Structure 1
Amino acid sequence: MTHLKAGDKAPDFTALDQDGNTITLNDYKGKKLVLFFYPKASTPGCTAEACNLNDNYERFTANGYEILGVSADSAKRQSNFKNKYTFQYPLLADEDKAVIEAFGVWGPKKFMGKVYDGIHRTTFVIDENGIIEDVISKVKTKAHSEQILGE
C-alpha cells in the first residue's frame, strides 16, 4: 500500500499526541524509532498490537528504540486508550490524517465484503538519521515485537 521502502528518507511530520504535545520526526533524531500505524484505538487487533509493543518496551529501549503509535482517533480517544493500558509511549492523534497520508497508509480496505477507506496497519522502523530501515505491512498483532526485534 505505502510507496515508502527501506532506504527511503522518512517523511517529516509534526502532530499532536494524546496530551496535546507537539511531536515531530526531528524529536527522534539520534534515536531509532518504531512508528506504528493502527486503524482504531481500543479495538481488539489494535489493542493486542499496542499491548505487545508495550509489554516489550524495555527490550526496545535497551536496543535504542523509541516507540510512537499513530491513528486518526481524537486526542481524547488516544488518551483513554493510553491510560487504560498504561502505554509507556505516546500516541499521535492524527485526525487530519497528515502523518497517515505522508506515510501512504490510508486507502481502500475490504472487510466482510465491503470496501471502504481506512488505515492499513503498517509499521516503519526508522534509524537514527531518519532513514527507513524496514516496513512491516503484514503485522502480527500478538507477536509484533518479535517481527521488529527479530528475537
Structure 2
Amino acid sequence: MSEQTRLAEGDAAPDFTLTDSEGNEVSLRDHLGSTVIVYFYPAANTPGCTKQACDFRDNLADLNDAGLTVLGISPDPVAKLTSFREEHGLTFPLLADPDKTVLTRWGAFGEKKLYGKTVTGVIRSTFVVDKEGRIAKAMYNVKATGHVAKLRRDLKLAD
C-alpha cells in the first residue's frame, strides 16, 4: 500500500466547507470553541453506514449534552444524503464530499484492504476535534457496528 495522509493526535484539523443534506454550507471553522466528532463513511443507505448513522442518531442527545457536535461526511451527492436523512430520521449534519477532497485530506480515502484485496475507497474513520481545532482522537478503519459505544467509552461518557 502506498503512503497516504494520516492525521494524529495534536495535528491541526484540516478545515473544510461542504454542503449538507439541506443545501447549507457547513465549515469546520464554524465550530471552533466546540468539540466536534467528524466521521467519514462510505455510502448512505448501505447496511453498515445506516447502522453507524442510526447509532449516532440514537446517542446524539447524550453526545450533545456532553458538549459534542456530530458531523458525518461521505462522497454521496446532496440528494442522496437528503433521502438518507429523511428515511432514517437523522438529526445531525450529513455533508457531501463528492470529489473526495476532504476525505483525502483527512486520510479517509485511499488504499485499504477489503476481503483480502487492496482497493481504493473510503476508509471508515472517526475524529474528535477539540475546541482549538486540533485532533484529539484519530481512529481509522473503525467498525460500523458498536463504534459509537466504543467512542463513548473512549471519551468516558456515562452509559
Q: TM-score, with normalisation over the residues of structure 1?
A: 0.93
Alpha-carbon distance in 1 for matches of 2:113, 2:15: 29
The answer for unaligned runs of 5 or more in structure 2 is none
Runs of 4+ in 1 over 6 A off after TM superposition: none
Structure 1, residues 12-36: CA drift from partner, whole Å, max 9, x if none? 1111111221110111111110100
Mapped pair 1:126 → 2:124: no
* Paired amino acid for 1:143: G
Alpha-carbon distance in 2 for matches of 1:142, 1:74: 24
* Paired amino acid for 2:7: L
* Paired amino acid for 2:31: Y
**In structure 2, what is the equivalent of residue 116 of structure 1?**
119
Alpha-carbon distance in 2 for matches of 1:144, 1:136: 10
In 1, are the aligned partners of 2:123 and 2:141 still within 8 Å (CA)?
no
Mapped pair 1:31 → 2:26: no
Match among 48, 62, 65 for residue 62 of structure 1: 65
In 1, are the aligned partners of 2:108 and 2:140 still within 8 Å (CA)?
no
**Paired residue total:** 151
Q: TM-score, with normalisation over the residues of structure 2?
A: 0.89
**In structure 2, what is the equivalent of residue 142 of structure 1?**
145
3-state DSSP of counterpart to 2:63? helix
In 2, are the aligned partners of 1:32 and 1:65 still within 8 Å (CA)?
yes
**In structure 2, what is the equivalent of residue 103 of structure 1?**
106
